[in-house]
Amino acid sequence: MPTDNWWRDGVLYQIYPRSFADSDGDGIGDLRGILARLDHLEWLGIDGIWLNPTMPSPNDDWGYDVSDFHSVHPDLGTLEDCDALVAAAAERGIRVLLDLVPNHTSDRHAWFTDAIRGRDARYRDYYVWADPAPDGGPPNNWLSNFGGSAWQLHEPTGQYYLNNFLPSQPDLNWWNDELRDEFDSILRFWFARGIAGFRIDVCHAIVKDRELRDDPAATPDDHPLIRKKGHKQVFSMNRPEVHDVLRRWRALADAHDPPRVLVGETYVLDLDSLIPYYGLGDDELHLAFNFLFVHSELDAEQLRRVVEGMEERLPEGAWPVYTGSNHDAGRLATRWAAGDERRARMALMMLLTLRGTPFLYYGDELALPDVPLDPDTALDPVPRRTGDPSRNRDPCRTPMHWTAEPGGGFTTADARPWLPFGDLDACNVAAQRADPGSTLHLVRDLIALRRRSPELASGSYAALPAPAGAWAWRRGERFVVALNTTGADVVVDDLGGRVAIATDRARDGDAVAGAVRLGPYEGVVVELGA
């Protein structure tokens, strides 16, 4: 049995490589840039990083349209740069996870350029093809996540191919055994280069219904995002057979020394559908991202329901994972906190003290907000394709703010960053490092507390009574976390000890005798009996 649980006890950090640090002055972040900033991650106390796609891609969907699974995007560097990053990170005790995109390829991947040559092409069956419906239209009612039908007619061969995202991202056919073998060797290729594991893109979606049955209509009790879509995607994705593939990958990951880690983008919006991705006997994903949590409001009741739902349902040995920001959903400082730093600090305290692995998104440690950008000129194709400006993902993919200087410490003073900065003066690493009261120091101190207190990393979760709008829980026997998610004062009773860390750092070390009063959006970690 694998025993190294670094991914369970540690804190992970998601990096959007184009936006973290630019080493060569072209305005685009790259792997050498990340390498040069490892000091920041080590200082912060990060155990592992997940890099958004690093493989060659025409960038129709910014790396999620892979054209070669065995290399590095030239904008980001070379395989040697990747090796150098993995080695330099390892020296600091930081593991590197890459993003694996097995649901689809770019239409410029060699498999697809072959597949469209004819119905008998060598790689035709690597993709999902179907004849037109009797009226000549798409084979079924499946909808693309990026708007419109999920089917694209390929006129020269008279069949439709499936695209759950862009038409230039044809879905792979996971019923094809050779394709399964190809991915085994892709995993092995990267594991052999020292990659600690993968975050697996839309991993719940890869296997489609073999009979291509229509998805049923959403019903009133479905999650609002499913109702917005109009369909329950139970045939176009979320098939039971996906678990065979995940078990296969898990066996492959476990066969490596040290065992590699699988983290899934399991975009399902009810907990009962999420749990199976951990497997029946700890034999599928190590961590399955929880989108009900991401899409909750920063509200004690809503978040508590999700967390306690996981606590009740998770099988023995399985471990939750929590995040408040990512490159699709936006940044917590904006989405959850609406720009109010008190709320962002409280959210960060929550992430770093819940029972589960926290994933921070680069900039979360500064409470970096989304950057308002015009959806009409977005580089992200989604707002245009869907006609929904709120789906613009550029605002949460903008460059990291290292300093207030021109170039932001991200690139040179005269380079034009691929996406604009936000307000560099208002929020940057250098200024926050110099300020012990900053969000950056709060995050670092919370991570350090978690690291030196096994109860906070791996202790049990026990709900405690708290007034409406507040949420309190005990970790192990030694710590209580109490958060106020409202704008009014609340009092949490029955607590005795000392404040280990408060979002208002002036309260650190205060004695707690019987009750703790929390001002608007305040949070405290109390060490019991201390």
Q: Write down the least CB distance from residue 61 to ligand GLC, Å.
A: 5
Q: Write down the least CB distance from residue 327 to ligand GLC, Å.
A: 6
240-279 footprint of ligand GLC as x/- string (CB under 6 A): -------------------------x--------------
Catalytic residue among 22, 65, 171, 265: 265
Q: How far apart are CA 239 and CA 236, in angstroms?
A: 8
61 vs 394 by CB, closer to ligand GLC: 61
Catalytic residue among 201, 364, 365, 380: 201
- CA trace torsion 52, 58, 61, 66 (10° rounding): -60
Q: How far apart are CA 2 and CA 197, in angstroms?
A: 14
Q: Which member of 81, 201, 365, 504 binds ligand GLC (CB under 6 A)?
A: 201
10 Å CB burial of residue 58 (0-12, 13-18, 19+) is middle
323-362 positions binding ligand GLC, by CB under 6 A: 327-328
Q: Is 201 a catalytic residue?
A: yes
Contact between 235 and ligand GLC by CB under 6 A: the answer reads no
Q: Write down the least CB distance from residue 169 to ligand GLC, Å.
A: 6
Q: How far apart are CA 161 and CA 130, in angstroms?
A: 6
Q: Write down the least CB distance from residue 262 to ligand GLC, Å.
A: 16
47 vs 201 by CB, closer to ligand GLC: 201
Q: How far apart are CA 240 and CA 11, in angstroms?
A: 31
Per-residue CA distances from 448 to 142, 180, 371 (Å): 47, 41, 30
Per-residue CA distances from 447 to 10, 32, 199 (Å): 9, 26, 22
Beta strand 12-15 with 48-51: parallel, antiparallel or unpaired? parallel
Nearest to 526 by CA among 478, 468, 492, 465: 478
103-162 positions binding ligand GLC, by CB under 6 A: none
363 vs 408 by CB, closer to ligand GLC: 363
Q: How far apart are CA 292 and CA 281, in angstroms?
A: 24
Q: Write down the least CB distance from residue 77 to ligand GLC, Å.
A: 21
Per-residue CA distances from 179 to 84, 128, 171, 172 (Å): 30, 12, 12, 8
83-112 positions binding ligand GLC, by CB under 6 A: 101
169 vs 428 by CB, closer to ligand GLC: 169
5-44 footprint of ligand GLC as x/- string (CB under 6 A): ----------------------------------------
332 vs 481 by CB, closer to ligand GLC: 332
Q: How far apart are CA 384 and CA 365, in angstroms?
A: 31
CA angle 171, 174, 176 (to 5 degrees): 115
* Terminal-to-terminal C-alpha distance of the chain: 37
187 vs 495 by CB, closer to ligand GLC: 187
Q: Is 265 a catalytic residue?
A: yes
Q: Which member of 22, 30, 47, 61 binds ligand GLC (CB under 6 A)?
A: 61
Q: How far apart are CA 521 and CA 341, in angstroms?
A: 9
- Which two tokens mark 518? 């929390």
Number of residues that bind ligand GLC (CB under 6 A): 9
Q: Write down the least CB distance from residue 362 to ligand GLC, Å.
A: 15
165 vs 191 by CB, closer to ligand GLC: 165
62-81 footprint of ligand GLC as x/- string (CB under 6 A): --x-----------------
Running DSSP on this structure, what letter comes out for residue 438? S
201 vs 365 by CB, closer to ligand GLC: 201
Q: Write down the least CB distance from residue 143 to ligand GLC, Å.
A: 14
Neighbours of 490 (CB within 10 A): 23
Q: Point out the residue whose Cβ comes nearest to ligand GLC.
A: 64
396 vs 518 by CB, closer to ligand GLC: 396
Q: Which member of 16, 20, 123, 165 binds ligand GLC (CB under 6 A)?
A: 165
Give one DSSP letter per residue of 361-409, joined into a string.
ETTGGGTPPPPP--GGG-SSSHHHHHT-GGG--GGGSPPP---SSTTTT
Q: Which member of 202, 274, 360, 525 binds ligand GLC (CB under 6 A)?
A: 202
- CA trace torsion 262, 265, 271, 277 (10° rounding): -40
Q: Write down the least CB distance from residue 328 to ligand GLC, Å.
A: 5
Residues in touch with ligand GLC (CB under 6 A) = 61, 64, 101, 165, 201-202, 265, 327-328
Tell me the catalytic residues.
201, 265
